[in-house]
Amino acid sequence: MSRTIIWDIDDVLNNLTQAWLKHEWCPEHPDCTVQFSEIRANPPHEVLGITLHEYQVSLDRFRTSEVGRNLTPVPETVAWFEQHGAQYRHIALTARPFVAVPSAAEWLFQHFGQWIRGFGFVPSPRANDHAPAYDRDKGDWLRWVGVGDVLVDDSPANQKAAIELGLKTVLVPQPWNQANGTISDALTDISRQLDTN
């Protein structure tokens, strides 16, 4: 039976936060001196000295913009899928507000649809969203769906939730998670974890 990998999309399969800072936030705020490497928290509103609401409005605008809908996939991740993708089953799991989910799904299947056959999302709360809240976070979603062997994510909180459910995890290095190594190291760790059982 094939092992199943559950992939986060933003900041794992693409470089959303880095692209947002470069193409949305800094051009709109030319006085901003914060570099991507200094984003030591996600969400980064306190690092930027703004409110969470200001950050969310800017990020959501970017996610639905032309640039945000056409992010380049992380080359190392594409190469990993080309070499190893067929050996496993794959599900994507993202946390986004409803307004930004359609563009994420389209982007995902455009770039990774050859391998990823399932798509799940946990709606990020926004004031104007009134849909039922089935899951508080990715841990709730993972518990509900009940499948998966490895979660690949950039969030230590999601990693912790997955470990509590008995999944293996790979934390993709980003400035806010203090993970060691590179994206290539993280991708190598996926195969190592799955091939040791």
92-114 pLDDT per residue, tens: 999 999 999 999 999 999 999 99
Q: What is the predicted pLDDT for the residue at 197? A: 56
**Which residue type sits at 107?**
W
Cα(110)–Cα(76) distance, integer angstroms: 17
- Regions in the chain scoring below 50 on pLDDT: none
C-alpha distances (whole Å) from 116 to each of 54, 86, 92, 137, 175 are: 33, 10, 7, 21, 27
% of the chain at pLDDT higher than 70: 98
- pLDDT for the residue numbered 116: 97
Whose tokens are 């195969």? That residue is: 191
What is the model's pLDDT at position 158? Answer: 97
Reading phi first (left if > 0) and then psi (alpha if -120 to 50, else beta), residue 2 is in: beta
How confident is the model at residue 112, as a pLDDT? 98
**How far is Cα 88 from Cα 30, in angstroms, rounded to an integer?**
45
Structure tokens at 70: 């056409």
The DSSP line for 109-156 is HHHHTTTEEEEEEEEPP-TT--S----SSHHHHHHHH---SEEEES-H
pLDDT tens-place string over residues 112-141: 999 999 999 999 988 888 888 899 999 999
CB of 52 within 8 A of CB of 45? yes
Which residues, 6+ apart, have CB-to-CB distance to 184 below 8 Å?
76
